Amino acid sequence: QLSICADKEQNIRHAREAIQTAADGGSKLVLLPEMWNCPYSNASFPIYAEDIDAGDSPSSKMLSDMAKSKEVTIIGGSIPERSGNHLYNTCCIYGKDGSLKGKHRKVHLFDIDIPGKIQFKESDTLTPGDKYTVVDTDVGRIGVGICYDIRFPEMAMTYAARGVHMICYPGAFNMTTGPAHWELLQKARAVDNQLFVATCSPARNPSAGYVAWGHSSVIGPFGEILASTGREEAIFYADIDYAQIKERRMNMPLDHQRRGDLYQLVDLTFTT
């Protein structure tokens, strides 16, 4: 859970040091926050964006180098990605050999308006991704979503159906939706699908334009909090035993009890 500032080079240096510390501390998989190389704002995204496919991305290069040198899988939070005329909120996933194993572009953009509390419209600058991301790593099959993606249970269900062990959500909830929904959503996605959920937020900076809630966590398949932190910058660790997925699914065989004859994902638009 990193502190993020307006200086991109400093953010990259800082993330590199944190990955090094985490790997030296025994981590086999490291998860970074959403938008860790820039302030979370529509004004910043175009300025800090990097072209990952063109190989013009110091942030991604650092992640790849660190994955290789520390032999650790990295779920690289997210950065603003430039691709042609489009910008995306993108998470790069690196294997422990430093290879790019997958790239998730935030599918559900954060466009909300809670009067008097928070208004944000990512679609002013960003384009949504159009695919889900599942990667096989040395530390299991990982599904990736970014922040607002966690609000869509269909995505997590799809990942569960594809055999994912853990869904990683880099995310930057805020001072309104964070206390209301952040922990609830992480537990819900874990319990609904009987798998692990890991989240990573930026540390809270009360003087930032967008104040992140923090409270990054790792949740087990029974909804138990395996590790979590508060608002400050932190590196924290969890031991994850995927055998618990099988055990929980045997204890409570939701998958076999599902009544697909009664509900189908055909039209789930809210009726108001």
Among residues 28, 61, 151, 231, the one that binds ligand LQR7VSFR under rule CB under 6 A? 151
Report how far residue 173's alpha carbon sits from residue 154's, in angstroms, rounded to the nearest whole number: 20
147 is an interface residue for ligand LQR7VSFR by CB under 6 A: yes
In the set 70, 101, 103, 106, the catalytic residue is: 106
Q: Check binding of 141 to ligand LQR7VSFR (CB under 6 A).
A: no
The yes or no reply on residue 173 touching ligand LQR7VSFR (CB under 6 A) is: yes
Pairing of strands 73-75, 79-83: unpaired
Contacting residue, 174, 193, 216, 217, with ligand LQR7VSFR by CB under 6 A:
174
Catalytic-role residue among 38, 91, 92, 147: 147
Q: Is 186 in the site for ligand LQR7VSFR (CB under 6 A)?
A: no
Nearest residue by C-beta to ligand LQR7VSFR? 177
Residue 92 annotated to the active site? no
- The residue annotated as part of the active site, out of 8, 34, 101, 103, is 34
- Alpha-carbon gap, residue 226 to 22, rounded angstroms: 17
d(CA 187, CA 17): 30
- Ramachandran sector of residue 55 (left: φ over 0; alpha: ψ -120 to 50; beta: rest): left
Distance set, CA 132 to CA 33, 105, 158 (Å): 19, 8, 9
**Minimum distance, C-beta of residue 122 to ligand LQR7VSFR, in the bound complex (Å):** 7
Q: Which of 27, 64, 177, 244 touches ligand LQR7VSFR (CB under 6 A)? A: 177
Q: Is 106 a catalytic residue?
A: yes
Distances (CA, A) of 4 to 125, 201, 206, 271: 20, 10, 12, 40
Residue 11 is a binding residue for ligand LQR7VSFR (CB under 6 A): no
CA angle 177-183-189, nearest 5°? 110
Instruction: Establish if 199 lies at the interface with ligand LQR7VSFR (CB under 6 A).
Output: no
Q: Does 36 bind ligand LQR7VSFR (CB under 6 A)?
A: no
34 counts as catalytic? yes
Beta carbon of residue 152, minimum distance to ligand LQR7VSFR (angstroms, whole number): 10
Q: Which residues contact 42 (CB under 8 A, 6 or more apart)?
A: 121, 122, 124, 125
**What does the alpha-carbon distance between residue 166 and residue 163 come to, in Å, rounded to a whole number?**
9
Tokens of 149: 């993606």
Shortest Cβ 150–ligand LQR7VSFR spacing (Å)? 7
As a whole number of angstroms, the distance between CA 33 and CA 37 comes to: 9
Shortest distance in whole angstroms from residue 212 CB to ligand LQR7VSFR: 9
- Which residues are known catalytic residues? 34, 106, 147
Interface ranges with ligand LQR7VSFR (CB under 6 A): 110, 147-148, 151, 172-174, 177
